[in-house]
Structure 1
Amino acid sequence: MTTASDQPVIFILSDSVGETAEFVIRAASSQFNGGQADIRRIPYVDDKKTIAEMVQAAAEVNGMIAFTMVVSELYQFLLDEANRKGVPVVDIMGPMIEGLSALYGREPKREPGLVRRLDDEYFRKVEAIEFAVKYDDGRDPRGLLRADVVLIGVSRTSKTPLSMYLAHKRLKVANVPLVPEVEPAEELFMVPAEKCIGLTINPDQLNGIRRERLKSLGLTARANYANMERILQELEYSEKVMKRVGCPIIDVSNKAVEETANSILDMLRKGGKHL
């Protein structure tokens, strides 16, 4: 099974891109004197005519066909046609699909391109995480109008952890700290109210959280940051801003990040209605 250049010819037929098969072939062929091979990838195969033509082409050069095809009708046609022409074939995914079918206890979907869709979801997640990092803590107000969700609240109301958690759900999240001495960026008031979530917290709990934060930094708990009068001032100011924005408000007191995140996701699914 060689060409004039003394390299085996391997046709890859796939009802998707064919990257999986090519990766496996290159990994396997590396075990044979450097793995030189003439690999010809034919992606998005969705008709019998193309299959018949590729089987004939493989027969003419004494080549082999490797395939990743999940549509039953085309799968069987390829096997029959290759057998008729005496062309060796290797099913890259079939044995694994059969094994997983037994493990899951159900039949596979038999839909082409599902791996590509999973890849797309992965890259959307990465993009969302990068977005959350870039627009954390009000760093760049330009991100507010590009965000899927904007979180606002005083310091230590879990804005950053929530941003990262929601980013893993492929949502682009920006967050803005509300401080009495700093007027929020005008972009905040241009964000649709249903895309903005206000976070509030019980003042006693916030006082405890801030005291612990100061201790971890080696600072005295008597600092203004943990002063109850200051905390009440900040919460009052944040409430005014949230009312001005018109956004729903979630009390994060005694709530885990996951619980608050699920409340936010429910709000978004229901069009921003306060639950």
Structure 2
Amino acid sequence: MTAPSRMSSAVLATAIASLAFLATGFVVVRGLGNIKNASDVINVTGSARRSITSDQAIWRFTVQSTDLQSLQTAYKNFQATQPAIDSFLSAQNLSATELRREPVSAGPQKYNVIETVGGENREVERTKYVVSETYRLQSNDINKIQKAVTDATNAFVNASSGNVNIDSGDIEYLYTKLADVRLELLKEASQDAQRRAQAIAQSAGNSVGAVKNARMGVFQITPRFETSVEDSGSYDTTSLEKDVTAVVEIDFVVK
């Protein structure tokens, strides 16, 4: 091979190597660009809280008569409580929509007891006869429900007997406009997240752009000033005064 031919081959080899290097360099730069774009996101959590006062109350109580011998006797004892119960309810001035009486339930029920037979303790199945009825008081007049619970103390003492038990539940406090509050809190929580993202971006000399991803957290409805939360959300019905908290997680594009 002549010298010119050797020189041409060297130039060609150098050119091919240069092109390969440029191509490789292009891929690396492009790859770095993709990584930069993907990382130019700020992930922030925003929250909003509002205090509310319950606007509806529910209270339930159950009258139950039990007899070990017959259903007829259980029902007779149950009927004997009705004058006191009816007098109590009449004194509460409840409207037809504020008082609901569930159908009377009556029938035998099985239960187990431990008895000593031949010097040994054995579990034995027995039958008892039960008649019961549940009353539900529900009103937007919360004072009315609270008064009914207070008045029930004396009324139920008069109605109860050895074979009749009256089980009174706790008052449940509800808020009927919760759907509207949730929408407003989501907006406020999103605005809070944006303010947080802007503060972070500005500290680095940048600004935030469009929302890339958004995730809504669970709502927490807790007693006023309560700090505990549940992973699946909470809905307190025990307190008249409550706090509603909304949380959102948002990814903002950085400009």
TM-score, scaled relative to structure 2 = 0.20
More strand by share: 2
TM-score, scaled relative to structure 1 = 0.19
Q: Which has the larger radius of gyration?
A: 2
More helix by share: 1
Higher relative contact order (CA 8 A, sep 6+): 2
